[in-house]
């Protein structure tokens, strides 16, 4: 996340609370994801910067998003434009997605292995991780030839190094102490 996180948090929180109240989490998530991409687009940013007033910025942004924004999404854009905060929309979208994942008790887990994991391995890994984290797990699998054997699992601040290199390193540390 960028340095606009502090600015984006109240907008994301307000949007999230409204979405929970109205039962529209998925549509808000989609709206903010799209609006965040529009706000981070260089051409759109240049066009918005050339607008003389906040109202003109909001109108142009709403036109760029077309029917991707509902009335409440348009209101959010107008308020953010009035406060000169449209550049924080990508961070608003990211924070909203985090709030939603926390609400849905979901967690994204990055898994790095030397070779691709087959479906059965992924399923057993998901089951074990769901038990450990007490949440629904979404795996993001990738391969890295430098991983000699085993897996590296990352989720937020948690890192589980089950590689041979990691085990040897821990053994060496234990033997040295």
pLDDT computed for residue 33 by the predictor = 94
**168: exposed, middle or buried (Cβ count in 10 Å: 0-12, 13-18, 19+):** exposed
Entry field: residues in the chain: 177
CB 96 within 8 A of CB 29: yes
pLDDT at 133: 87
Identify the segments of the chain with pLDDT beneath 70: 1-2
Question: What pLDDT score does 142 carry?
Answer: 92
3-state helix, strand, coil in the chain (%, to 5): 65, 15, 20
- What is the number of structural domains in the chain? 2
Per-residue pLDDT at 2: 57
CB count within 10 Å of CB 128 equals 12
How far, in Å, CA of 6 to CA of 165, rounded? 39
Alpha-helical runs (H) found in the chain: 5-22, 25-40, 42-49, 54-65, 71-82, 89-103, 119-133, 164-176
- pLDDT per position as a tens digit, 159-169: 988 888 888 88
Residue 65 sits in the same domain as residue 128: no
Q: Are residues 66 and 109 in the same domain?
A: no
15 shares its domain with 63: yes
Looking at the structure, tell me whether residues 113 and 164 fall in a common domain: yes
81 and 29, same domain (yes or no): yes
Contact yes or no for 124/152 (Cβ under 8 A): no
> Where is the domain boundary, 70, 102, 134?
102
Q: What is the CATH number of the domain that holds 62?
A: 1.10.520.20
Predicted pLDDT at 166: 85
In this prediction, residue 11 carries a pLDDT of 93
- Residues 119 and 140 both lie in one domain: yes
Shared domain check, 78 and 34: yes
For the record, the structure tokens of 151 come out as 């897996």
Containing structural domain, residue 130: 105-176
Task: Encode pLDDT of 2-31 as tens digits.
Answer: 577 888 999 999 999 999 999 889 999 999
């Amino acid at each position: 996340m960028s340095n606009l996180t502090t600015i984006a948090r109240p907008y994301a929180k307000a949007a999230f609370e409204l979405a929970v109240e109205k039962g529209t989490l998925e549509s808000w998530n989609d709206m903010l994801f799209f609006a965040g991409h529009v706000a981070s687009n260089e051409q759109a940013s240049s066009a918005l910067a050339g607008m003389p007033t906040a109202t003109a910025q909001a109108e142009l942004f709403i036109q760029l998003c077309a029917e991707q924004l509902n009335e409440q999404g348009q209101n959010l854009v107008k308020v953010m434009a009035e406060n000169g905060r449209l550049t924080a929309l990508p961070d608003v979208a990211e924070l909203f997605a985090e709030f939603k994942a926390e609400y849905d008790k979901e967690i994204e887990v990055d898994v790095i292995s030397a070779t691709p994991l087959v479906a059965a391995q992924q399923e057993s890994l998901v089951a074990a991780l769901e038990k450990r984290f007490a949440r629904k797990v979404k795996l993001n699998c990738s391969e890295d030839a430098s991983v000699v054997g085993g897996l590296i699992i990352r989720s937020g601040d948690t890192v589980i190094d089950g590689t041979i290199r990691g085990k040897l390193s821990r053994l060496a540390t234990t033997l040295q102490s």
